[in-house]
């Protein structure tokens, strides 16, 4: 089966704070075809996200496919509030890289 990395299909893959206790991830596509391909493949789901980020799937608070924007969005709860001692990414903007290499069947 042929695959492509998510980074080749999506226009934007990013993460950012969603309040002090959550980080949200956005996967945004330029073309509907690429969005539909990823959406229909099912590679982005709570189980795959939990495995990819080495977290319990109960930490995933939201997972939304938003057709009008060709976007997939999910949110995870932090283990400690943003800015807590030892926090490595206060803005949550460095958490997305594991998504870049997700292989999507084409």
Using the predicted structure, report yes or no on whether residue 49 has a pLDDT greater than 90: yes
22 within domain boundaries: yes
Within 8 A by CB and 6+ apart from 52, the residues are 98, 99, 102
Q: Residue 60 belongs to what domain range?
A: 3-81
- What is residue 17's predicted lDDT score, i.e. its pLDDT? 96
Would you say residue 56 lies in a domain?
Answer: yes
Whether 47 is in a domain gets the answer yes
Q: Note the pLDDT of residue 4.
A: 97
State the total domains in the chain. Answer: 1
The answer, yes or no, to whether residue 102 has pLDDT greater than 90, is: yes
- Domain membership of residue 102 (yes or no) is no
Q: Does the pLDDT value for residue 36 go beyond 90?
A: yes
CATH number at residue 63: 3.30.70
Residue 82, pLDDT above cutoff 90: yes
Output the pLDDT for position 88.
85
**pLDDT number for residue 86:** 85
The pLDDT value recorded for residue 35 is 98
- Answer yes or no: is 89 within a domain: no
């Amino acid at each position: 089966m042929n695959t492509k990395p998510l980074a080749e299909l999506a226009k934007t893959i990013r993460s950012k704070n969603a309040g002090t206790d959550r980080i949200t991830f956005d996967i945004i596509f330029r073309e509907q075809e690429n969005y539909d391909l990823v959406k229909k493949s099912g590679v982005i789901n709570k189980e795959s996200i939990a495995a990819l980020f080495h977290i319990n799937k109960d930490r995933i608070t939201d997972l939304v496919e938003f057709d009008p924007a060709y976007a997939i969005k999910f949110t995870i709860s932090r283990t400690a509030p943003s800015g807590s001692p030892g926090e490595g990414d206060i803005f949550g903007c460095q958490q997305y890289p594991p998504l870049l290499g997700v292989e999507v069947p084409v």
